[in-house]
Structure 1
Amino acid sequence: MMGLADQLLKAGLVDKNKVKVAHQSKSKQQKEDRRAGVETVDPVKLAAQEQQRQAAEKARLANAERDAAAQQKAIAAQITQMVQQNKQSKGKVTDIAYNFTLGTKIERIYVSTQVREHLVAGRLVIVAQGEGYELVPRVFADKIAERNPDIVVRVKQASAEVEEDDPYAAFKIPDDLMW
């Protein structure tokens, strides 16, 4: 197969020196391109690289979701273990109804008088566990609250301080008031 330069040479349109100079300049340009790092752009190669990058990003996101789900499951297992190992007795179920709020709902558990005193004093804390509620010591409730604060019921201690402009300042709330 004859190249264009050979055909032009045979036809007499160019001489050997012009062909030689053209080849040299072409070789020189290719050599300079290689040194400068200029590559020919291959759209198929670019598309394959982009597709690989997208697949890697999708796999990374899927792994992150899977890891987050496994982390949540591990936290739930830790909470369940802490509650089961440290739950306290509620006393006789028919003793006293103790009302508390969990989120926006008012809930009720039945506890003994002594357990109620511990709840009011803050020594015991209510933790939502499945469909029911368990009582755990405050130390463990703090550890559970670090992992999931939504299931721990904090009893707000009544403040002894009275505001200056409080219209009900003269009316004290008894300590044994149950609502």
Structure 2
Amino acid sequence: MSKQKLSLQEQLLKSGLASSAQAKKVQADKRKQSRMQTHNNATVVDEAKELALKAQAEKAGRDRELNQLRHQQEAQKALVAQVKQLIEQNRQRQDPDGVAYRFTDNGKVKTLYLGEPLREQVIKGRAAVVKFEGAYDVVPAEAAKKIGERLADCVIVCFQAQPEAAKASDDPYAGFEVPDDLMW
């Protein structure tokens, strides 16, 4: 027994799912389209294909935006990790029995207890106060500069270091000493 391959149209007609009038109408529409295309050089617009291409382009745009956002988040995480490492490596030891050093952060006065040499370094600009994850630390000025390049809002107090010779020659009050017990 050899079976002949029937087209979908013939199969639908045999099973009774489509009528011969419907089949003739579909064939006539196809002929009209092909004639219009050849005579007018007009292309038949495939709406489904256009919608698929448009959806694909929109998806590609969203994917680009998401990748860019993910890349920015990863870069921010890397900066935070670098700042954390710089602070941990350069942290100066605070002295709970030391002299109080007061500074402002967001309009509030904060206090750190530092040894006298470290306090002088902060005042002279050789050390700086930084804030990271809610904790205040003192680091050398070079480390504070690197931290400021990565996350500027982490550096709370960082004075400009002035050379001693230039400071003494320009200062009209150089001969007047500030009392040791004067602190704010």
Output the TM-score relative to the length of structure 1: 0.67
In the alignment, the residues of structure 1 paired with residue 143 and residue 73 of structure 2 have an alpha-carbon distance, to the nearest angstrom, of 24
Matches within 5 A, 1:130-169: 130-156=133-159
Q: Percent identity?
A: 31
Amino acid of the residue matched to residue 96 of structure 1?
V
Query: Structure 2: which 5+ residue stretches go unaligned?
Result: 1-23, 29-34, 161-166
Contact 2:122-2:159 within 8 A present in 1 as well: no
Amino acid of the residue matched to residue 67 of structure 1?
H
Matches within 5 A, 1:1-179: 27=38, 29=39, 33=41, 39-90=43-94, 92-156=95-159, 174=178, 177-179=182-184
Helix, strand or coil: the match of 1:89? coil
Helix, strand or coil: the match of 2:113? strand
Query: Structure 1: which 5+ residue stretches go unaligned?
Result: 5-22, 163-171
Contact 1:122-1:138 within 8 A present in 2 as well: yes
In the alignment, the residues of structure 1 paired with residue 57 and residue 151 of structure 2 have an alpha-carbon distance, to the nearest angstrom, of 36
In the alignment, the residues of structure 1 paired with residue 112 and residue 62 of structure 2 have an alpha-carbon distance, to the nearest angstrom, of 48
Deviations 1:108-149 (A, max 9, x none): 111111111100000001111223211111111111100101
Amino acid of the residue matched to residue 64 of structure 1?
Q
In the alignment, the residues of structure 2 paired with residue 26 and residue 142 of structure 1 have an alpha-carbon distance, to the nearest angstrom, of 71
Quick one: structure 1 residues 110 and 131, their matched pair in 2 at CA, closer, same or farther if it must change by over 3 Å? same
In the alignment, the residues of structure 1 paired with residue 101 and residue 74 of structure 2 have an alpha-carbon distance, to the nearest angstrom, of 36
RMSD over aligned Cα atoms: 3.2
Output the TM-score relative to the length of structure 2: 0.65
Helix, strand or coil: the match of 2:103? strand
In the alignment, the residues of structure 2 paired with residue 149 and residue 81 of structure 1 have an alpha-carbon distance, to the nearest angstrom, of 16
